[in-house]
Amino acid sequence: MLETNNGYKSGFISIIGRPNVGKSTFLNRVIGQKIAIMSDKPQTTRNKVQGVLTTNDSQMIFIDTPGIHKPKHKLGDFMLKVSKNTLREVDVIMFMVNAEQKLGKGDEFILEMLAGNPTPVFLVINKIDAIHPDELIGIIDSYKERYNFAEIVPISALQGNNVENLLTTLSKYLPEGPQYYPADQVTDHPERFIISELIREKVLHLTREEIPHSIAVVIDKIRRDEENEDKIHVAATIIVERDSQKGIVIGKRGALLKEVGTRARKDIEMLLGSKVYLELWVKVQKDWRNKSTHLRDFGFRDDEY
């Protein structure tokens, strides 16, 4: 931890909510670069992703959690536990909802989870750019009836509307404390994790139906090219659950896998600041989402597994 002047504030802020409410979009906007992958498919985020925002007078450590949903397999159990555990570790909880969606069972479940929690809870109503301003009052009232929120802040994470106001308000709730991370550090995740997520994001974008939830990405190696030090060699394996899924991910004559590689390589080069040679493989691991050993091997580590 770095020494700071008196009055410096720092703290941890958990972002929770139903799947696909814009948590990762918000985190990437605040941090100023992509550290959390984005997709229109639910359950895109599977692990805690920490983003660090450092200013002259504060440091906010945001924790983007998996979208809260009813688990259907061991991976789902893991994701729910990750989200729940962060509620006990933070200084502020951001409960993010989608302005386009009515308060539903998923939101009720989250509000029940929050009941009795002494941590200040912000209701953050995202995607206000997609609704008429007159609709906002009704949305606010429906949530105010169910929970005593510390603050209610409407935003558009995509367009940036009211995000600065949210950050200013959040800082008021943080305790005085040290600067936990260097000012230029934007995440606590290693490059290997972010690279695997960037590859997984491209598969999410390019596939449909059962594929998105059935894949994991394992980084086999990252090393600088011995003959050309300006180039980094990345080898990764995309894990699927069935032979039919392997065929879909590879595509006709390898076309889809090649497109995944082309898109992912651009993001990885931006992340690493170097030219990248990306090598991708696809491997079948039957029913990996329900097997504790595979979950551990693929980076989903938890006391239960």
Global pTM exceeds 0.85: no
pLDDT tens-digit series, residues 13-32: 989 888 888 888 898 899 88
Residue/partner pairs of 112-117 with CB below 8 Å, 24 or more apart: 113/68, 113/84, 113/87, 114/87, 114/147, 115/147, 117/87, 117/93
Q: Which residues pair with 86 in a beta bridge?
A: none
Q: How crowded is residue 45: how many other Cβ atoms within 10 Å of its Cβ? A: 24
Distance of CA 39 to the CA centre of its chain: 10
pLDDT tens-digit series, residues 211-265: 656 788 888 888 877 777 778 888 999 988 888 889 889 999 999 999 999 999 9
The secondary structure of residue 23, as a DSSP letter, is H
Taking alpha carbons only, the member of 264, 263, 248, 125 closest to residue 194 is 264
Average pLDDT, integer, range 66-82: 56
The count of C-alpha atoms lying within 13 angstroms of the C-alpha of 156, restricted to the half-sphere facing its C-beta, is 13
pLDDT at 243: 86
Q: Percent of the chain having pLDDT more than 90? A: 39
pLDDT tens-digit series, residues 166-185: 999 999 999 999 998 888 78
Q: How crowded is residue 173: how many other Cβ atoms within 10 Å of its Cβ? A: 16
Q: What is the mean pLDDT of the chain?
A: 81
Question: Which two structure tokens, joined as six digits, stand for 144?
Answer: 């105010």
pLDDT at 5: 56
